[in-house]
Chains A and B, each alone.
Chain A
Amino acid sequence: MERDIRILFSDTFLVGIMFANFCIDLFVTAATFSNLISSSYFLMIAPGSNFLTAMVAAFQSGRDVWREKYIKDLASYLFTLPVPRRLFAASRVAGGVARSVIATFPGTLVISYLYGILFSPKLVDAFVIVGLFSLGIVGLSMAVSAFASSIEVFATVRSAIQLYLSFLSTIFYPASLFPVIVQPIVETNPMTWAMNAFRSLSGQGSSLGPIAILVAPSLAFALLGIGCYLWYARL
């Protein structure tokens, strides 16, 4: 027990993240679920669930990258393959996006059907939105994996990011239902942008605007992930 407690407090970063997670759980989760009843499931919750799946699948990329280096030592083999490092890093991001889009493929199709866009060009937009969102998350997860000194650190940071993306966004209900002080955080959450873009598909107007908002942050995170992976690849 003493050893466990010593290990727990040996990393102040972990303790800080754990405390933050606890606060989010206590104050945000409870508040979220208390306001669910009046929401439209298909408009609010179903796309949110789909994006949660995309987020989890995208984060798997970072976990894999970490395991390749520190557990299976596959990294040294992969880096002997005749592929330029930058291309290799970019392909890892692309692979993560592909996995995420595949993981959410059925969900995206079902929601598109419910939105009445299954047989319209907006179906492509739906997949573009999921792909762009996944692109950013894959990049973020690879950046986290580059700096995580242990799988526990990676898992803890991942949980914190996932909680932020899940419960401080408009996945479950509109930003206006959040406390005023939290609303700016919710409005600037990439998950909120992704949700807004996806929900705009159900309307009559163009969804290009909401999609365009996603492009810059997703590319920025993807580039961050590639940069961190290249740094991390210097064994």
Chain B
Amino acid sequence: MISFEKAGKRFGTLDAVKDFTLEIRDQEILGLLGPNGAGKTTLMLMMGTVYRPTSGAISVNGLDVVKHPNDVRKLIGIAFQDPRVDGILGAFDVLNWHLKMTTTLGKEERAERVEQVLRAVDLWDARKKRTWLMSGGMRKKVEDCKVLAQRPSIAVFDEPTAFLDVPSRLLMWKMIRELRDQGSTVIVATNMMDEAERLSERVAIVNRGKLVAIDSPEKLKSTTKGGEVLELTVGVGQQFPRELLAEFSEVQDVTQTENKVSVYLTSGRLLLPKIVETLTNRGVKIDSVHLKEVTLEDVFLNYTGQSLD
């Protein structure tokens, strides 16, 4: 189990992470969802003993990351958002060296493991190609493969499918699930809603260095009032008159970000024509209307008051 207890990290006058408390269960896939700069990477680097927490405590399988950094490092493998690979080396050598440093596997076992993952992600034929000559997607695969081949107790993936095409994304998700099935606890930091929703058993929403909410994607969505969202685009600079919707008991909440208005409600299909009519009769200029079910993005918007874009 990984435990963050009021953990904080301050850089100068900036609190990248503040009073962060979270417990990550063994063999779960936890999604860390938040916008860029939310503190996800800082959290992972504190857990990986690269950054020392400036307050609070973090323990990994009962080991304090400050007191037992080397023991903690033996448990963790991190695939970084931007591939951290020696460009002059080929994929095979990058992975082989990584396994040599992080596992007790012998030479032949390492070679087998590396071949297995490189074939799985369709990089075997390019195994000798210098990584600095590879495309962004290929390099990202190599980065992810470091952890997939390592099979650590705690596997951390930072934006694991950034730069990947759709088939590769699906494959990577499958491989991450298999890693969990083999016994690893998996933490996936992402700002992609579908990734968090489809991959994670629990999602922790992080914003401005703080934990905002944590639960399964379904339960998080159920916490959002209404169950449906009516998205309206109004004229630029127009302040939406929320009081006009007060007469509808089905409307639970209304939020506005610039010219986009989200109306959280029930019975949206029945109500939509009435709401539009009411608003247009009062002179509200509506550019577009879209009714949908609540998504994690709405949950995020609801908890943080801002979108992930």
Contact = CB atoms under 8 A, between A and B. Distances in A.
A73 B78 CA distance: 14
Contact of B50 (A72, A76, A82, A84): A76
B84 A84 contact: no
A234 interface: yes
Given A82-B101, A235-B50, A235-B51, A76 B80 contact: yes
Interface string A50-85: 000000000000000000000011101101111111
Interface residues of A, number: 14
Contact of A81 (B73, B80, B86): B73
A82 B73 contact: yes
A72 B87 CA distance: 9
B52 interface: yes
A234 B45 contact: no
A108 to B, nearest CB: 26
Interface in B74-89: 74, 76-78, 80, 82, 84, 86-87
Interface string A210-235: 00000000000000000000000011
Given A79-B50, A80-B48, A80-B76, 11 more contacts: A72-B87, A73-B82, A73-B84, A76-B84, A81-B102, A82-B74, A82-B101, A83-B70, A83-B73, A83-B101, A235-B50
Interface in A83-135: 83-85
Given A73-B82, A74-B86, A79 B49 contact: yes
A74 B82 CA distance: 10
Contacts of A85: 69
11 contacts: A72-B84, A73-B84, A76-B45, A79-B49, A80-B48, A82-B70, A82-B73, A82-B74, A82-B101, A83-B73, A85-B69
Interface of B: 45, 48-52, 69-70, 73-74, 76-78, 80, 82, 84, 86-87, 101-102
The A interface is mostly helix, strand or loop, or mixed, namely: loop
- Sorted from nearest, which 7 A-B pairs have the closest CB atoms? A77-B84, A82-B73, A82-B74, A80-B48, A79-B50, A81-B101, A76-B50
Contacts of B101: 81-83
B52 A80 contact: no
Contacts of B49: 79-80
A72 B69 CA distance: 24
A83 B77 CA distance: 13
B66 to A, nearest CB: 12
Nearest to B72: A82
A74 B101 CA distance: 15
A64 B243 CA distance: 62
A37 B45 CA distance: 59
Nearest to B77: A80
A81 to B, nearest CB: 5
Nearest to B97: A81
A84 B70 contact: yes
Contacts of B78: 77, 80
Contacts of A73: 82, 84
A235 B45 CA distance: 10
Q: A77, A80, A84, A234 — which one has the most chain B CB atoms within 10 A of its CB?
A: A80
Nearest to B80: A77
Given A234-B52, A235-B50, A235-B51, A80 B86 contact: no
A80 B73 contact: yes
A235 B53 CA distance: 11
Contacts of A80: 48-50, 73, 76-78
Given A80-B73, A80-B78, A235-B50, A74 B102 contact: no
